[in-house]
Amino acid sequence: MIRLITKTVSTNKDLVVVPVNSKELAPKSKLDKASALSVVEQKSGIRFRKLLADEGFLADDNTSTYFRTVGKLSAKAILFIGWNSGQNTAEEYRKLGALVAKTARCHRVSSLAFSEGGLQLTEKKRCKALLEGVALSEYQFDSYQKKPKTKPVAIKTVTLLTRKKVASQVAKDAEIYAQAACLARDLVNMPATDCDPPYMVRIARKIAREDKLKIKVLDKPKLEKMKAGGILGVNRGSATPPALIKLTYKPRGKAKKVVSLVGKGVTFDTGGHSIKINKSMNDMKMDMGGAAAVLGAMSGIGKLKPNIEVRAYVPVVENMVSAKSYKLGDVLRMYSGKSVEVLNTDAEGRLILADALALAEKEGCDQIIDLATLTGACMAALGQDYAGLFTRDDSFGQKIIESGSEQGECIWQLPLVEKYREQIKSDVADIKNVGFGYGGAITAALFLSEFVEKTPWVHLDIAGPAFLPAAADYSPPGATGFGVRTLIGYIMSL
């Protein structure tokens, strides 16, 4: 937990961060006496502007430079950062927090102080984002290494050098959001043999215990009884049993709304008999990214206690190849009663989601949001940084996009093209599980729409951003925890 302190004068011993505007470094420019740069020059007697010029530091955005203060300031070191306060969005503060924390860790420093300068440190959303950036960038997945490749250093205190106090709740919120995202990252990064459906059930029980949520696990016999043909069909080739996990958060008083979250939990996707070829199976331990996002969000919601009832429906299965696997041409009788002809066993996510969505709708709620690493086609359309959003309710969709943008998670709406619904018509069953030709993310979303008839619903295809091949601003390569913070932020905004 990061301790947040506000103070007017720094007594920080470790590292002080000083934002610099590039104009302040222009030759012959007169420095405002009150500016952060001028204040440290006065205090230390060091002409930092000269040093910065010698370094060639221009204070462009996202650049920084580090100096030791050799006993001239109470802090051991100073980090100048380029800050030209262009847009001043929360996301820029998140990235700033990560940049500063990374430098601090390199120098094995565990406390930081920020001079205010051009920063808006006391504004709640920005302050939360800054601390969240610090916490999120601390994450590493090293439990499978005998000796962690990099030794983690936790930032323990962050001091804001400002006159205005910031509520300590801001630091708590930042911590809760970051922790929830890191919980999802851990689940996604974990090898699939260890993170299988029974493990997902155990983790859900742990979350329920710790965050005081209600849990109900529909195990295989129950799924058979309720005829959840999608979940059972996909899992048929696996040696482990499937489950449908249901977590519920209920507020103390009367809930303003009931929101259901549904997450695709394919703990490993071989493709089944439509087997994935070459390297396309390598990262398929991440195919439960939607489930992880929903579980992570529930753990955050349990702690933040909004006035909204939130229900999570998480189907967990493995899509394996075996003598028992479901076959091409099979017809599955889904929980909703519709029949589905399977013409590609690799289009499995939509089959398990169909059962979970139908149950969420049957149990009655005001809104449904599902998250799924559903299609390669969505990645082809938007690249890896954007999730695709589908909905029949544009204003609902817009709210999710806005929540994403507040959290630095990029979401782009794609159309539910009714004309393409013809592609999933079947000759033998009610529908089939794949279309033909292009627009695979759209036909997948249309398939899901067959199982949500009347409830306002948003589908997020997170195949791209759930798992990245290279490090991003505040996550190492691999799982990002995408969706967790967007979901929590959205629920908290209701």
Binding site for ligand BES (CB under 6 A): 269, 287, 344, 346-349, 373-377, 434, 440, 463
The catalytic residue among 102, 125, 172, 276 is: 276
CB of 38 to ligand BES, least distance (A): 51
For Zn ion, the closer of residues 373 and 407 by Cβ is 373
Q: Which of residues 227-286 bind Zn ion (CB under 5 A)?
A: 266, 269
Residue 449 tokens read as 């729409």
Does 346 help bind Zn ion (rule: CB under 5 A)? yes
Residue 462 DSSP SS3: coil
Residue 208 tokens read as 């329920």
Q: Is 485 a catalytic residue?
A: no
| Distance separating alpha carbons of residues 354 and 416, to the nearest angstrom | 17
77-82: strand order across its sheet? 3-7, 157-161, 111-115, 15-20, 77-82, 64-68
Does 211 help bind Zn ion (rule: CB under 5 A)? no
> Which of ligand BES, Zn ion, none lies near 140, with the C-beta cut-off 5 to 8 A by kind?
none
For ligand BES, the closer of residues 272 and 476 by Cβ is 272
For Zn ion, the closer of residues 91 and 348 by Cβ is 348
DSSP letters of 30-93? Answer: PPPTTSHHHHHHHHH---HHHHHHHHT----TT-EEEEE-TTSSSSSEEEEEE---SS--HHHH
CB of 112 to ligand BES, least distance (A): 36
339-341: strand order across its sheet? 331-333, 339-341, 431-432
CB of 35 to ligand BES, least distance (A): 48
Residue choice 24, 92, 287, 341 for contact with Zn ion (CB under 5 A): 287
Among 455, 446, 458, which residue's Cα sits nearest to residue 399? 458
CB of 378 to ligand BES, least distance (A): 8
Q: Is 227 a catalytic residue?
A: no
For ligand BES, the closer of residues 206 and 273 by Cβ is 273
Does 341 help bind Zn ion (rule: CB under 5 A)? no
CB of 339 to ligand BES, least distance (A): 19
> Which of ligand BES, Zn ion, none lies near 14, with the C-beta cut-off 5 to 8 A by kind?
none
| Distance separating alpha carbons of residues 418 and 434, to the nearest angstrom | 15
> Which of ligand BES, Zn ion, none lies near 84, with the C-beta cut-off 5 to 8 A by kind?
none
By beta carbon distance, the residue nearest ligand BES is: 376
Q: DSSP secondary-structure letter at 388?
A: E
Strand 214-218 and strand 243-249: the pairing is antiparallel
Q: Which residues contact 3 (CB under 8 A, 6 or more apart)?
A: 156, 157, 158, 171
For Zn ion, the closer of residues 144 and 438 by Cβ is 438
# of chain residues touching Zn ion (CB under 5 A): 6
For ligand BES, the closer of residues 81 and 442 by Cβ is 442
> Which of ligand BES, Zn ion, none lies near 377, with the C-beta cut-off 5 to 8 A by kind?
ligand BES
440-449 vs 349-363: helix axis angle to the nearest 10?
30
For ligand BES, the closer of residues 311 and 350 by Cβ is 350
Asked if 18 contacts 75 with a C-beta cutoff of 8 angstroms, the reply is no
Cite the DSSP H helix spans in 138-254.
168-189, 197-211, 220-225, 229-235
CB of 482 to Zn ion, least distance (A): 16
Asked if 437 contacts 423 with a C-beta cutoff of 8 angstroms, the reply is yes
Does 349 help bind Zn ion (rule: CB under 5 A)? yes
The catalytic residue among 128, 285, 350, 432 is: 350
Rule CB under 5 A: which residues touch Zn ion? Answer: 266, 269, 287, 346, 348-349
| Residues labelled as active-site residues | 276, 350
